[in-house]
Amino acid sequence: MVKIGMDPFFARMTNPLTALNVTKKQVKSGEEIGSFESSKFVSKIYSPISGDIIAVNDKVLSNPQKINENPYDSWIFVMKSDKNVEEKYIIEDKDKVFKWINKEIKRLEAGN
């Protein structure tokens, strides 16, 4: 089982989230699974892994700003993954998340 949500960097970029929905129950890695809206933009949510959605966080769907307030405790959905989890898309550790965020910031600043 894998809980899927937004990292703090993305939650901050989207602040405040105004709408969030999950529209599919079964997806392949990289497929659209739903969408979100903020005061800044509208975007699609893509699944980082292949599998079945077995639960959605109704509290977060009805109040998406919970993600902006506390992204680590505000998961969006839980998936039962296929046998081969695409581990390159999974970041499990808070320190690894911060390392990835810093790497992304540097990449974006460099224009890549």
DSSP string, 36-105: EEESS-EEEEE-SS-EEEEEE-HHHHH-THHHHH-GGG---EEEEE-SS--GGG---SHHHHHHHHHHHH
Q: Which domain holds residue 34?
A: 2-109
> How many structural domains comprise the chain?
1
Confidence at residue 106, expressed as pLDDT on a 0 to 100 scale: 84
- Whichever domain contains 75, its CATH number is 2.40.50.100
Give the percent of the chain with pLDDT over 90: 44
Q: What's the whole-number mean pLDDT along residues 68-97?
A: 78
**pLDDT tens-digit readout, 2-25:** 889 988 888 888 889 999 999 988
